[in-house]
Structure 1
């Protein structure tokens, strides 16, 4: 019968995981980019509008909120492609002007 006690496992360790580290350190802005903030607040605003549409049983208002959310995601992606996202040229230039953060 195999010994599966905690003491046995602590004394007889086995390596079952491989550690995968990124080749470089992550950017220091923690996602605080123009693209991230624009996407977040546009989606939050659209959610509030859609919730009001559900609350007041206004189907058109719900769909307006949904359209605002989709537009926010598209706008965020466009801003990311223009360099305002994580690791983008505009974000790196802004970080350099602010002293690295």
Structure 2
């Protein structure tokens, strides 16, 4: 019978933890980019429109809100590809300008 008590395990460590560090320092803007804010604002507005459509029992308004949410996702991806997202050229240039 083996001693599997907490005290025994604390005194006789059997394995070590390995540390996994990221390959580089994370961006300092915490996701506050033009692409992120645009996506968030448009998707939230679309959700509000869809919710009003659901409450008012107007199917066309609910579907319009869903379309606005989808448009927000597409717009955010386009802005990210254009460099306005995390690590993008436009975002890095804006950060460099703000550092001076």
Q: TM-score normalized by structure 1?
A: 0.91
User: For this pair of structures, how many residues does the alignment match?
Assistant: 100
Cα distance in 2 for residues equivalent to 1:62 and 1:74: 19
Cα distance in 1 for residues equivalent to 2:64 and 2:14: 56
The residue number in structure 2 matching 1:12 is 12
Greater displacement, 70-79 / 3-12: 3-12
Cα offsets for 1:1-49 (capped at 9, x unmatched):
3333221221122336533211110010000000000000100000000
Cα distance in 2 for residues equivalent to 1:64 and 1:51: 11
Pairs within 5 Å for 1:1-101: 1-15=1-15, 17-99=17-99
Structure 1 unmatched ranges of 5 or more? none
CA RMSD across the alignment: 1.5
Cα offsets for 1:52-86 (capped at 9, x unmatched):
01111110000000000000000000000000000
Cα distance in 1 for residues equivalent to 2:97 and 2:83: 16
Structure 2 unmatched ranges of 5 or more? none
